[in-house]
């Protein structure tokens, strides 16, 4: 970090401009934030700070723009009712963390049986070309075709996060995550997109590109990535798009 002037917290030197942007919870009785440096696969060492009970990238805000990614997220109609009924998620709120994990697994397993890779068909989902498909677009397509479609990794993460955010409370649990990779000789700036989920007081990464994998039981819960994507830095996303009204303003560390 090329800094003319530094503020020191413990043994870390932090750019004051970075620190000023942080609106984090105090992580000790002395009111001093906790900092640590994490080694990433493609970005070198990155400074993280403690936020609640997990780590977030220091000074890096998540992308809170709702309209481009989650247009009409609050709307519902007969088609959305049919979609959610078919997925099998009850309308009652979750009471336990085990139930949250179980519902995530139910959405995962439903997608495994009800979604197909089809980029041509996916292009027909867009009722507004300036936005990603809305929950209404997904529901309309499902009612008309008795299935859903997706294409590249962002479309998979977007659909998965949309369904999770609409069927499981509270919403702060879910976001779209984006991390760097070098698969197939790609530059280190290339990105892969997946889903971040907060369960049992910690974050997990869940990559719907690996929808063919079995979803683990609560006692065996763990992050899910694609084994062949060895260079994806799943644990250190550089960007995050939370579902609407989640309140998650920073980019968290996603352990295995």
Span 102-147, pLDDT tens digits:
999 999 999 999 999 999 999 999 998 889 999 999 999 999 999 9
By percentage, how much of the chain surpasses pLDDT 70? 87
124 lies in the same domain as 18: no
Specify the pLDDT at position 227. Answer: 84
Mean pLDDT of the chain: 88
Q: What's 235's domain CATH number? A: 3.10.620
pLDDT for 166 beyond 60: yes
Answer yes or no: is 169 within a domain: yes
211 lies in the same domain as 101: yes
**Count of Cβ atoms closer than 10 Å to residue 14 Cβ:** 22
Could you tell me the CA-to-CA distances from 61 to 70, 205, 241, 249 in Å, in that order?
Answer: 18, 19, 10, 6
72 lies in the same domain as 50: no
150 lies in the same domain as 45: no
15 lies in the same domain as 123: no
88 lies in the same domain as 200: yes
Answer yes or no: is 122 within a domain: yes
| The pairing of beta strand 12-14 with beta strand 115-117 | unpaired
For 187, the domain range is 67-252
Answer yes or no: is 98 within a domain: yes
- Domain's final residue, options 16, 36, 56: 56
118 lies in the same domain as 223: yes
23 lies in the same domain as 105: no
Answer yes or no: is 187 within a domain: yes
pTM for the complete prediction?
Answer: 0.87
Judged by average pLDDT, the poorest of 30-44, 86-100, 218-232 is 30-44
Alpha carbon distance 45, 61 (integer Å): 18
Alpha carbon distance 50, 182 (integer Å): 29
């Amino acid at each position: 970090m090329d800094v003319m002037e530094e503020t020191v917290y413990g043994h870390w030197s932090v750019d004051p401009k970075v620190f000023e942007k942080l609106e984090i919870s105090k992580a000790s009785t002395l009111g001093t934030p906790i900092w640590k440096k994490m080694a990433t696969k493609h970005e070198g060492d990155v400074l993280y700070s403690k936020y609640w009970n997990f780590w977030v990238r220091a000074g890096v805000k998540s992308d809170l723009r709702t309209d481009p990614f989650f247009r009409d997220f609050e709307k519902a109609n007969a088609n959305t009712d049919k979609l959610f009924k078919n997925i099998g998620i009850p309308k009652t709120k979750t009471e336990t963390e085990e139930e949250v994990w179980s519902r995530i697994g139910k959405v995962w397993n439903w997608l495994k049986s009800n979604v197909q890779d089809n980029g041509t068909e996916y292009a027909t989902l867009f009722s507004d070309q300036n936005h990603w498909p809305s929950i209404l677009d997904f529901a309309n397509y499902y009612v008309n075709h008795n299935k859903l479609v997706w294409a590249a990794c962002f479309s998979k993460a977007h659909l998965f996060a949309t369904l999770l955010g609409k069927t499981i409370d509270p919403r702060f649990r879910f976001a779209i995550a984006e991390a760097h990779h070098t698969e197939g000789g790609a530059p280190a700036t290339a990105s892969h997109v997946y889903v971040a989920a907060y369960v049992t007081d910690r974050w997990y990464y869940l990559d719907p590109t690996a929808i063919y994998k079995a979803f683990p039981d609560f006692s065996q819960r763990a992050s899910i990535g694609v084994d062949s994507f060895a260079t994806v830095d799943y644990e250190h996303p550089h960007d995050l798009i939370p579902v609407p009204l989640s309140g998650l303003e920073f980019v968290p560390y996603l352990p295995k």
